[in-house]
């Protein structure tokens, strides 16, 4: 029986192999997360004809290629939290940190704690996948909130008070009345130039696309707001470009969030 400790990095890792008595089975070596090098590593373990306790740190996602290769080869792999390895290493008098020393430390942990280590299972992978999706969802929602606040600030300069009349909703961006409205009219200045009749006709058309039933109420309220409010930027090309870009990001973020869940 021997213990294999693997110190995981982004695209390559270092492995150390210890005999059951703690002596070095082979010097620590580096391998890349490529199929040929992983196959060679796995072949070495299988050809040894000994049982092996294989241990690596849970590094978020960098360990996935190594974990998958070992599992597909039928080799059980144990995972441990990096904090546990750190506490285990704190007992050493010399604490110089190198990848090779970390790999040996992980192998020593595997050797001493082999009785309590449990191989990583597919059920744990499912939990990892769920956590990954949850992180992605939270990141998407944070992006959505950040971009939405920025867009609201821009709208406050081009169309003050518009969100009190026409709430900014992007649950289904392609058919959202607020999204269609912003894309079509841009600012109060443009609405004023159109005149009441022309604006109401144009607004009714986009309202039909969104299947909104309050066309007349919204249209009149928006036109009155355009007449009484003073816009600070209006047709400024940079503001409108930023508005378009931000609206696109809000819509894309919302679409991604909907697809995730």
Domain ranges of the chain: 2-120, 127-260
Q: Determine the average pLDDT of the residues in 31-53.
A: 90
Q: Is the pLDDT of residue 10 over 80?
A: yes
Band of pLDDT at residue 189, cut at 50, 70 and 90: confident
Band of pLDDT at residue 6, cut at 50, 70 and 90: very high
**Separation of alpha carbons 39 and 147, rounded Å:** 46
The pLDDT of residue 199 is 94
- Output the six-digit token pair for 206: 């986009």
The pLDDT of residue 232 is 62
- Output the six-digit token pair for 234: 């209006």
Q: What is the DSSP string of 96-149?
A: ---HHHHHHHHHHHHHHSTTT--B--HHHHHHHHHHHHHHHHHHHHHHHHHHHH
Q: Determine the average pLDDT of the residues in 164-174.
A: 70
**Residues 6 or more apart from 95 whose CB is under 8 A from it?**
89
* Pairing relationship of beta strands 12-19 and 77-80 according to DSSP bridges: unpaired
What fold, for 2-120?
Nucleotidyltransferase; domain 5 (3.30.420)
The pLDDT of residue 77 is 92
Q: Is the pLDDT of residue 71 over 70?
A: yes
Beta-carbon neighbour count of residue 1 at 10 Å? 10
The pLDDT of residue 242 is 78
The pLDDT of residue 261 is 52
Higher model confidence: residue 10 or residue 6?
6
HEC string for 175-187:
HCHHHHHHHHHCC
Q: Determine the average pLDDT of the residues in 10-28.
A: 90
Q: Determine the average pLDDT of the residues in 209-231.
A: 82
pLDDT tens track for 138-163: 666 676 667 667 677 777 767 888 87
- Output the six-digit token pair for 151: 């867009």
The pLDDT of residue 43 is 94
Q: Is the pLDDT of residue 64 over 80?
A: yes
The pLDDT of residue 29 is 93
Mean pLDDT, all residues of the chain: 81
* Pairing relationship of beta strands 24-32 and 77-80 according to DSSP bridges: unpaired
In our burial notation (b when 16+ CB lie closer than 10 A, e otherwise), range 67-81 reads bebbbeeeeebbbbe
- Output the six-digit token pair for 135: 């992180």
**Separation of alpha carbons 222 and 214, rounded Å:** 12
In degrees, to the nearest 5, what angle opens at C-alpha 161 toward C-alphas 157 and 164? Answer: 140
Q: Is the pLDDT of residue 106 over 60?
A: yes
The SS3 call for residue 64 is helix
Q: Is the pLDDT of residue 233 over 80?
A: no
Band of pLDDT at residue 92, cut at 50, 70 and 90: low
The pLDDT of residue 93 is 44
């Amino acid at each position: 029986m021997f213990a294999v400790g693997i110190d995981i990095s982004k695209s390559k890792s270092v492995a150390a192999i210890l005999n059951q008595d703690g002596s070095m089975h082979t010097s620590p070596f580096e391998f890349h997360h490529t199929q040929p090098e992983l196959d060679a590593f796995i072949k070495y373990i299988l050809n040894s004809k000994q049982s092996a306790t294989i241990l690596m740190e849970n590094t978020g996602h960098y360990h996935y290629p190594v974990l998958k290769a070992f599992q597909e080869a039928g080799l059980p792999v144990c995972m441990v939290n990096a904090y546990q390895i750190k506490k285990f290493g704190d007992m050493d008098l010399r604490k110089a940190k190198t990848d090779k020393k970390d790999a040996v430390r992980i192998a020593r942990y595997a050797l001493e704690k082999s009785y309590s280590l449990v191989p990583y299972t597919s059920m744990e992978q499912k939990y990892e996948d769920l956590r990954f999706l949850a992180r992605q969802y939270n990141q998407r929602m944070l992006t959505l909130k950040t971009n939405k606040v920025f867009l609201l600030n821009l709208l406050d300069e081009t169309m003050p008070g518009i969100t009190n009349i026409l709430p900014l909703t992007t649950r289904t961006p392609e058919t959202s009345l607020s999204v269609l409205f912003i894309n079509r009219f841009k600012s109060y200045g443009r609405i004023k130039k159109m005149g009441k009749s022309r604006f109401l006709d144009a607004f009714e058309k986009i309202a039909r696309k969104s299947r909104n039933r309050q066309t007349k109420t919204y249209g009149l309220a928006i036109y009155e707001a355009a007449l009484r409010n003073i816009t600070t930027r209006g047709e400024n090309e940079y503001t409108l470009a930023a508005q378009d870009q931000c609206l696109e990001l809000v819509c894309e973020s919302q679409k991604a969030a909907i697809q995730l869940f």
